[in-house]
Amino acid sequence: MPAIRRDFTGQTVITTFEMTPGTAQDLMDELKEAYATFIRHQPGFLGAGLHMNDAQTRIANYSQWQRREDFQAMLRTLEMRERNRRIATLCSRFEPVMYEVTAVAEPS
């Protein structure tokens, strides 16, 4: 599981997916399978979390990588390009965005 820390020096990627409730579980299954059999074995992968909203119209994916280049290399593989084509058929859009951790709030 990824840990959100201010001193994290790797790459954080947050991907949001938009879909209809009718395809939400299929998309979640596809994403879980991608992590279980492919993504987690890629160089530089540190961890990820998948979240679905109550209406089943959005999935958010939070992942951490050692380096930006590790995430980009995973996206360029033939395997991930094929998976992304399947994923695109299950949602209206998805967008991975790279972020830097700038602040963390913890309980007192």
- For residue range 51-86, list pLDDT tens digits in order: 999 999 999 999 999 999 999 999 999 999 999 999
What is the edge-to-edge ordering of all strands in the sheet holding 93-99? 45-52, 58-65, 11-18, 93-99
pTM of structure? 0.92
| Local structure of 11: helix, strand or coil | strand
pLDDT for position 26: 97
pLDDT interval class at 4 (50, 70, 90): confident
The answer to whether 90 and 23 are in contact (CB under 8 A) is: yes
pLDDT interval class at 1 (50, 70, 90): low
- Tell me if 88 is assigned to some domain: yes
The answer to whether 97 and 2 are in contact (CB under 8 A) is: no
- Tell me if 107 is assigned to some domain: no
- Tell me if 90 is assigned to some domain: yes
Assign residue 17 the CATH number of its domain. 3.30.70.100
- Tell me if 1 is assigned to some domain: no
- Tell me if 105 is assigned to some domain: no
Determine how many CB atoms are found less than 10 A away from the CB of residue 95.
9
Upper half-sphere CA count for residue 69 (Cβ side, 13 Å): 0
Q: Which domain holds residue 79?
A: 11-99
Q: How many domains does the chain have?
A: 1
- For residue range 5-41, list pLDDT tens digits in order: 889 999 999 999 999 999 999 999 999 999 999 999 9
